[in-house]
């Protein structure tokens, strides 16, 4: 029975259960003061998601503000270059603020407004989620505070300035490694203190219930569009779909509509960094273990004492020690498989995509490209591969120039 169960497609709508569990993963691990806030949020979201007026409003802003639908683009020259499967790119890079993150930021800002919360807080690593949050807060007239590690603020000074231009207050965090993990801690501390009038817009399919489910739902539009677009274009579903996985939000949104399609292979790509050695990567399924981090039970890179390992990736958006709980669940079920791409391969694919397609991809998205190019070469010419291009690389060109030794 268990063997057969792992073979059959999954009932995607049964997850998570009412406690926010995806099998053994997910759940709620927060201080008592936040329990009420999370329950309130869960209840408000449940009403909103079933309210046609909310969905209609969200669709309206996704179109007019974010720029949906995004194109499903046939990458002709990358396809020729590989000589195998037809490669399509889902162009989330064309969205306002440059990545898929605006889908979720819009959804949660609308929800905050509905809940009567006038103040929004968020955490950000590279600054992409911070920029998306600052933009929607400006649009809806919400006060916005973004927590960001001091090291990240220095590395991503341009995004800090963008957020401030749009009226957000960016607060530097000096604790620990001064990066994303510490910024999340500070955001949670703020939320505990100001929970009444404040909504916390979490940026990935992570954290405590209802966040992983809610963030997933706000990104499902990606996969819904892909289904429609590929059917219109090719008259059938793709053979394989590939997305990069940091916390896992662009990937789960891209995959969700296809979870029950047993003939569509789904592959998540993690950050292999400098290689799979302790502290040199952020591939949670390459050596990670079950644990709890920042409200969520999932695969985590940790040492034998449960202390969080240092992580590394050329792309800040994939550089986090935990993976979204839903991905861990589907991996156990053999429904989503995982690979990783290393920094040097990412640099090569970044240049290749720019040169052959005239599209500069985000370094995060380039991880999906690396694996996609390998797979396309192994697949037949009559097969179809869709890669989620989660964001554009404008934010990364300075860093890439530095790595390549080019002075700007
Ligand atoms: C933030 C980011 C990611 C990683 O986040 P997920 O939640 O895993 O999607 C990937 N791509 C881009 C362009 C990003 O900005």
Q: Which is the catalytic residue, given 86, 92, 123, 225?
A: 123
Shared-domain flag, residues 92 and 221: yes
Residues 183 and 291 in one domain: no
Q: What is the largest CA-CA distance in the chain?
A: 61
Helix ranges restricted to H, 279-392: 325-332, 343-357, 363-378
How many angstroms separate the alpha carbon of residue 363 from the centre of ligand 1?
10
Indicate the Cα dihedral angle 346, 347, 350, 352, nearest 10°: -110
The pLDDT, as a whole number, for residue 14 is: 84
What is the predicted pLDDT for the residue at 149? Answer: 95
Note whether residue 18 is domain-resident.
Answer: no
Are residues 238 and 318 both part of a single domain? yes
Q: Using alpha carbons, select from 359, 364, 184, 335 the residue that is nearest to residue 258.
A: 335
What's the average model confidence in pLDDT over 268-294? 97
- Out of 172, 194, 211, a domain closes at 211
Give per-residue pLDDT as tens, 23-32: 999 999 999 9
Residue 115 class from Cβ within 10 Å (0-12 exposed, 13-18 middle, 19+ buried)? Answer: middle
Tell whether 388 is covered by a domain.
Answer: yes
Say if CB 109 and CB 201 are below 8 A apart. Answer: yes
Residues 245 and 169 in one domain: no
Asked whether residue 3 is domain-assigned, the answer is no
Q: What distance in angstroms lies between residue 389's CA and the mean position of ligand 1's atoms?
A: 10
The finding on whether 133 has its CB within 6 A of some atom of ligand 1 is no
Q: Is the CB of 294 under 6 A from ligand 1?
A: no
Cβ–ligand 1 contact at 122 (below 6 Å): no
Residue 246 CB less than 6 A away from ligand 1? yes
Q: Is 101 in the pocket of ligand 1 (CB under 6 A)?
A: yes
pLDDT for 80: 98
Residue 203 and residue 276 in one domain: no
Does residue 206 share a domain with residue 178? Answer: yes
Find the domain containing 141 and state its range: 30-63+100-211
User: pLDDT band for position 398 (50/70/90)?
Assistant: very high
In a shared domain, residues 76 and 141:
no
The alpha carbon of 296 and the centre of ligand 1 are apart by a number of angstroms equal to: 18
pTM beyond cutoff 0.95: yes
In-domain check, residue 1: no
| Phi then psi dihedrals of residue 191, to 5 deg | -65, -40
Instruction: Indicate whether 294 belongs to any domain.
Output: yes
CATH number at residue 83: 3.40.50.1100
Pocket perturbation via mutation, ligand 1, pick of 107, 205, 318 by most ligand atoms within 8 A of CB: 318
Q: How confident is the model at residue 155 (pLDDT cuts 50, 70, 90)?
A: confident
Find the mean pLDDT for residues 331-357.
98
The answer to whether residues 190 and 48 belong to one domain is yes
Q: Is the CB of 248 under 6 A from ligand 1?
A: yes
Q: Answer yes or no: 123 catalytic.
A: yes
Decide if 248 contacts 268 (C-beta within 8 A).
yes
Rounded distance between C-alpha atoms, residue 12 and residue 375, angstroms: 26
Q: What is the model's pLDDT at position 2?
A: 43
DSSP-based three-state secondary structure for 174: coil
Kindly state the average pLDDT of the residues 279-304. 97
Does pLDDT of 158 surpass 80?
A: yes
Q: Is 390 a catalytic residue?
A: yes
Question: How many angstroms from the chain centroid is the CA of residue 234?
Answer: 27
Question: 6 pLDDT exceeds 60?
Answer: no
* pLDDT at 8 (0 to 100): 52
Q: Which of 384, 390, 405 has the alpha carbon at shortest distance from 85?
A: 384
* 183 shares a domain with 40: yes
Is 229 part of a structural domain of the chain?
A: yes
Domain endpoint, select from 155, 182, 211: 211
Residues 250 and 385 both lie in one domain: yes
Tell whether the model's pLDDT for residue 3 goes beyond 50: no
Q: Is 101 a catalytic residue?
A: yes
pLDDT band at 9 (very low <50, low <70, confident <90, very high): low
128 CB near ligand 1 (under 6 Å): yes
Cis peptide before 210 (omega within 30 of 0): yes
CA angle at 103 for the pair 393 and 387, rounded to the nearest 5°: 50
Q: How many domains does the chain have?
A: 2
* Average of per-residue pLDDT across 269-296: 97
In this predicted model, what pLDDT tens digit does every residue of 30-71 receive, in sequence order?
Answer: 999 999 999 999 999 999 999 999 999 999 999 999 999 999
Q: Which of 167, 191, 211 is the last residue of a domain?
A: 211
Q: Are 259 and 334 in contact (CB under 8 A)?
A: no
| Structure-token pair, residue 45 | 């979201």
Ligand 1 atom with least separation from CA of 249: 7
In a domain, 20, yes or no: no
Claim to verify: residue 82 and residue 142 sit in the same structural domain: no
Helix (H, G, I), strand (E, B) or coil at 260: coil
240 and 287, same domain (yes or no)? yes
Within-domain flag for 12: no
**Average confidence score pLDDT of the chain:** 95
Gap from CA of 249 to ligand 1 centroid (Å): 7
Share of the chain above pLDDT 90, in %: 95
Choice among 3-17, 50-64, 107-121, 327-341 with the minimum mean pLDDT: 3-17
Residue-wise pLDDT for 254-263, tens only, equals: 999 999 999 9
State which of 128, 179, 252, 368 you would mutate to test the pocket of ligand 1, scoring each by most atoms of that ligand within 8 A of its C-beta.
128
Bridge partners, residue 198, by sequence: 119
Q: Yes or no: say if 89 and 70 are a contact pair by the CB < 8 Å rule.
A: no
Q: pLDDT tens digit string along 162-197?
A: 999 999 999 999 999 899 999 999 999 999 999 999
Cβ(268) – ligand 1 distance below 6 Å: no
* Å from CA of 2 to ligand 1 middle: 33
């Amino acid at each position: 029975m268990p063997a057969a169960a792992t073979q059959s497609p999954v009932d995607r709508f049964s997850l998570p259960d009412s406690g926010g569990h995806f099998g053994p993963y997910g759940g709620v691990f927060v201080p008592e003061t936040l329990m009420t806030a999370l329950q309130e949020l869960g209840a408000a979201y449940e009403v909103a998601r079933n309210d046609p007026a909310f969905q209609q409003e969200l669709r309206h802003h996704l179109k007019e503000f974010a720029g949906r639908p995004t194109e499903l683009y046939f990458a002709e020259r990358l396809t020729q270059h590989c000589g195998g499967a037809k490669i399509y790119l889902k162009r989330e890079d064309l969205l306002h603020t440059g990545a898929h993150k605006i889908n979720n930021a819009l959804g949660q800002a609308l929800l905050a407004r509905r809940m009567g919360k006038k103040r929004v807080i968020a955490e950000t690593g590279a600054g992409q989620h911070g920029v998306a949050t600052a933009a929607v807060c400006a649009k809806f007239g919400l006060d916005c505070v973004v927590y960001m590690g001091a090291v990240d603020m220095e590395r991503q000074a341009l995004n800090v300035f963008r957020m401030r231009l749009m009226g957000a207050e960016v607060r530097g965090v000096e604790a620990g490694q001064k990066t994303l993990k510490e910024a999340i801690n500070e955001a949670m501390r703020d939320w505990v203190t100001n929970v009444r009038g404040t909504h916390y817009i979490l940026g990935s399919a992570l954290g405590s219930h209802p966040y992983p489910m809610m963030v997933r739902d706000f990104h499902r539009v990606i996969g819904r569009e892909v289904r429609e677009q590929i059917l219109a274009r090719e008259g059938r579903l793709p053979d394989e779909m590939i997305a990069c996985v940091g916390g896992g939000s662009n990937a789960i949104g891209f995959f969700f509509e296809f979870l029950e399609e047993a003939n569509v292979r789904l592959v998540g790509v993690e950050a292999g960094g400098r290689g799979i050695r302790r502290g040199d990567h952020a591939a949670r399924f390459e050596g990670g273990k079950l644990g709890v981090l920042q409200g969520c039970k999932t695969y985590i890179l940790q040492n034998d004492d449960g202390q969080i390992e240092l992580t590394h990736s050329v792309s800040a958006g994939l550089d986090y020690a935990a993976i979204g709980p839903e991905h861990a669940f589907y991996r156990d079920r053999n429904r989503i498989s995982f690979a990783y791409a290393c920094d040097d391969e990412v640099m090569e694919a970044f240049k290749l995509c720019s040169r052959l397609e005239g599209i500069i991809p985000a370094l995060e998205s380039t991880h999906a490209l690396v694996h996609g190019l390998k797979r396309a070469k192994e697949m037949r010419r009559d097969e179809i591969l869709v890669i989620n291009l989660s964001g554009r690389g404008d934010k990364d060109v300075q860093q890439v120039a530095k790595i390549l030794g080019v002075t700007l």
